[in-house]
Amino acid sequence: MKTRFSSITAELISQRKSVHELCRQFTRSPSKGNLKRLKALFHSCGESVFIEYGFHIDYGDSIVIGDRTFINTNCTIVDAAKEAQGNIHIGSDCLIGPNVQLLAVSHDMKPSKRLAKANYADDIIIGNNVWLGGGVIVLAGITIGDNSVVGAGSVVTKNIEANSFYAGNPAVKIRDL
């Protein structure tokens, strides 16, 4: 369910600046210490999670990552502030390819309403043992079922069934796995 919120409050701007600086530090020096500081931002982070350099988030406190998940270079997660209820849940044993974007925040489609600069947050839920190929874009409100694969360059605009291979723009089901 979409939640409306304003991201231009002084508190949220300050929080984003702080988180962005930590992401920049991690990109410049993807050390174990900087990775530990990055993981501490998340609502929860499982064991043996590996994140490559070039990782970008806005807040982090609504992100949950399961065990043994690998996030490749230049992953961008546009997450919402915790109070906006736009959670991102990445299951265990996932493979997130390079340049993947998880976009849990959107804006009004109607031009006159968009002038208010409101944001809308909706959950993104990625099941266990999911592989998102390089350059995949996942939009707000999407659930990707366990054991699924999304082909490189796909744009996910609708939910993905478990044990399925999807690809394309928009992503469509290619076959069962």
* pLDDT for 86 beyond 70: no
The string of pLDDT tens digits covering residues 133-168 is: 999 999 999 999 999 999 999 999 999 999 999 999
Instruction: Let me know if 107 is a catalytic residue.
Output: yes
Question: Rounded to whole angstroms, how far apart are CA atoms 175 and 17?
Answer: 43
The string of pLDDT tens digits covering residues 23-39 is: 999 999 988 999 999 99
Pick the catalytic residue from 43, 56, 89, 107. 107
11-15, 39-43, 44-48, 89-93: least confidently modelled range: 11-15
* pLDDT for 67 beyond 70: yes
Residue ranges of domains in the chain: 3-176
Q: What is the pTM of this model?
A: 0.94
* pLDDT for 8 beyond 90: no
pLDDT of the residue at 80: 87
Q: Which CATH class is domain 3-176?
A: mainly beta
Question: Rounded to whole angstroms, how far apart are CA atoms 62 and 82?
Answer: 5
Could you write out the three-class secondary structure of 50-105?
A: EECCCCEECCCCCEEECCCCEECCCCEEECCCHHHCCCEEECCCCEECCCCEEECE
